[in-house]
Every structure is written in C-alpha cells, then in structure tokens.
Structure 1
Amino acid sequence: MDETTLQPFQGPPKQVVYENTFITEPEGYGEHMVFKRHKVQEVLKQVLKERMEGQQYDPVKGAQHAKQLADDVREKVKALGYERHKLVVQVTLGQKKGQAMRIVSRCLWDTHSDASASEYYENETMYCVCQVYGLYIE
C-alpha cells in the first residue's frame, strides 16, 4: 500500500447540530396559507350529494364506501390549492334506525391558518358525517 492513499485517523465524524429557527407562524398570512372553511364546505356538500344520493346502507360495503368517500374528499380539497396543509379527513357512516349520535372533536392549532369543515348527509337508511381538518405545515 502506498502511504499517500492512507488518511490519518481524524476521530469520529462531526455531529451536525441544527439550530432552532424560532419560526412559530407562516410568514404573512396570504390567501394560500389560510384554510377557507366555506370553500371546503361547498366541496363536502357536492361530494356527499353525488356519492350518497340513492345509496342504501350496506354493512358489508360500509367501510369500503367510507374509505372511498374520504379519498374523494381529500383529492377534491387538495385541488383547491392547499399544498402546505396537512389534510385529515374523517368519515363516519352508519345505519339510521332512530338513534341519536354526537360527534365532537378538540384541536390545538393556529386559528389564523388552520381550520375545519364538516358536513352531514342522511337518507332513509343511513347517515354520513364528513369532517376535514386543515393544518398548516412549514
């Protein structure tokens, strides 16, 4: 071996230390950084009406139907231009038999850039509650 190809031992590799940027909010609350509840609400109404009208409750296909509905809602809301938002879509689908139901949620977020929207649909045999949470991410 040639001595010129050998490197002297320099110790363990240096550890990279990341400093806190202290950025706690989006820079300038522009149109693209604010989750517009009314726009998302319109999408929810449209999708629920298209997909749920004329449907009957089926316990076997219910879970798959709810998953497909959540995927459709997520894609339509993304098309509104929320690239910087983490979208959480929750769909509750159930059989309607005269029972009462209450769905509640609590979130800790920035009220300037984050929000949620929900919509309810029901027919003779089933109900569906769809909720969308939009959380701004840096």
Structure 2
Amino acid sequence: MKNKVDKNWIITTCVANQNELIDNFKKREAEINEAAFTKNASASQTEDRSAGKYELLKAIGDELAFAQKELTFLETIDRNLQNDSVELGAVVVTDKLTFFIAISSDKMEKDGATIVGISTRAPIYEKMRELKKGDSFQFNETSYEIEDIY
C-alpha cells in the first residue's frame, strides 16, 4: 500500500493552488480590462475593436467567480474528519491514484503518491461514491481497487 499523505497537506496545497489560480485570473482580468478601455488607434476612429475583449472579460470574470466559490468551499472542509466511505472530504487511496473528493484540481505529488482532486460532479465520483476500503470500481476502461479511505 502507498504512503498515507496527510489530509491537511492535501487541503493546504489545494487552497494554495486555488489562490494562485485566482491571482492569475485577477491579473488577466486587469490586463484585458485595461486593453478594453484603452482606445485603439486605427484608420477609422469610429471603429470599436473592444467588443471581443468585453466577451473575454466576462468569461474570465465568470471563471474567477467560480474559482473563488471553490476556494470558499475548500475552506469549509473539516480537515480532521476521518471518512470510511467515498464522500465529500475523503481521501481515497487506490492501487493507481489517490483521489481527494472536494474540487477538481491539478495532480499533486507527495511522498511518491499522485493525488488528484475531483469534484462530486465528476463522472468518476459517481462510479466510486459510497464505496469502502476493499471495494473496486471501473472508470474509462481502468479498474481501481480502493486500498484506504480517510
């Protein structure tokens, strides 16, 4: 069985990654905002080239709001809760990967383990929801055996 990765480390890393994502969205939003409200010099001074920038600005604003909502959600997870089935807040160690059930996140590496954050809206979660240690499930033609849950 793989090394047990501290749940507190996983949540702290997810929060740090989410904060970095939010900072990147804010920076990009500020750059586009500045570009959208700065008039472009063109042959036709009546031509408005900022319409596409407004759409992009809205899309980034929506992504930023979603990332902030996920950060708030992450911060509500009880770091000390010991789970015994696959549910929100659980760390699920399988023979292939370790999953953290909270929000979708990039892969994290710690002590030889690869941890992937998944949302309860993810299709793979439906395959493993409420399973327990020793159970197995299949997703996208890959079989997983649950070695530990905490």
TM-score band w.r.t. shorter chain: under 0.3
Q: If each structure's helix is expressed as a fraction of its own residues, which one has the higher value?
A: 2
Superposition TM-score, scaled by structure 2 size: 0.25
Structure with the greater alpha carbon radius of gyration: 1
**Which structure has the higher relative contact order (CA within 8 Å, separation 6+)?**
1
